[in-house]
Structure 1
């Protein structure tokens, strides 16, 4: 496996009400990588080498995530605001024809919001283990509410351990490598903002008109709730393809990067 890019320079896009940090590598049709909860652009360290051989890879750290160090909770840490930021980023980078947009977990919600807000910016849309609900579904218990309570009580380590083990399986946190733990700790406070939009739904009537190619990706060992989201999206978007990453749970791009990277590249080639 190629060595990961660990020292890609950060670029900063000025926004009317803040800044957006991002990294980029390579040339060609752009691929926009959107990370999920407790992560930032470092999450994609095993994607940069493979994807940048043929593509211009753009990986933002979403507003409020490292290295955008501001106190949480903050009202602008929100799905629609993230999507609007990324639309500005793609326009500023003059990505004519748009980008292949890839979102993981909460980032999949952001990716879908971007495609709905600015469909002209999306050459294709890949949603990896999306977890959002739809407007015609009842609200569900917030699975990370206990983690937020621990965070508010000052137990940041216990909070992130509980969150990671919940989304990826028991004992995951203990087994994770140091760089991943550092990244998650750097973004722990974002949960204080994220819980304020818990159960934020997607309206099927907003998503159904999408015409861009869509790929739904799941980890073969991911919790079942992520599969139910893909079931619904497959019914909603007739053009959607679906695949699973073997030997991987929710953190599929880290657990099986060869398969994940190959999946993204093949889809970008045919989309």
Structure 2
């Protein structure tokens, strides 16, 4: 039978490339005060099944299934609040890497993506936490046709690509007014008060205007972090203007990304990039597809 169950779950890790004892770190920083499953391994230690050898110290906290699929913000807010209150995580030195992991098991080619709103980016930035996406497209398990031999078919090589872009959006301004808010940036029009200038199609009852600034990196040879950094380098000189727009309730600022990726895939957003997104008042919205 083919697998039809879509799932998302979260876990959190603390890692360090050293020969310290993971048990001593857990005890020193009271990491065992968190409820839920906790596992830890020393550098070069094997897991119980002797199937994996750890390249560095790894301390893993199980957070659990995403309670509201597609929106884990409140769940993470609450977990990190308890984490700060019950442990001494804020006393960890800078050579520890703290990572939040989202694991997705999809059921179709569209099941891979996430959204980090600015509030969640603020909390991740506060604790210097990086973010990692791990996506898998569940496949056939071969039980639909018993007592048969699969016929090997040559499949075309899928094309992988991904890109990102900065987006500024407003519901009560046209694109000329929107462009005047950031006059130095060479923004392109995606939507002008509900009208798509390329197709000339008009969205019914829409007054939304959208301008965008795309990454200039090659879509086939660069990954999410590189595309985001390419855009941020163009935006950072205008940090004060963007911060002013962030407090304008009629303006929405974000970086968006999309693409067709391999199965499985892993994409990492560094703590430094999280910090820069927070400073510029940007949210991050990623919508990936499995290449088929």
Q: TM-score, normalised by structure 2?
A: 0.28
More relative contact order, 1 or 2 (CA 8 Å, 6+ apart): 2
Query: Greater helix share, 1 or 2?
Result: 1
Q: TM-score, normalised by structure 1?
A: 0.29
Query: Greater strand share, 1 or 2?
Result: 2
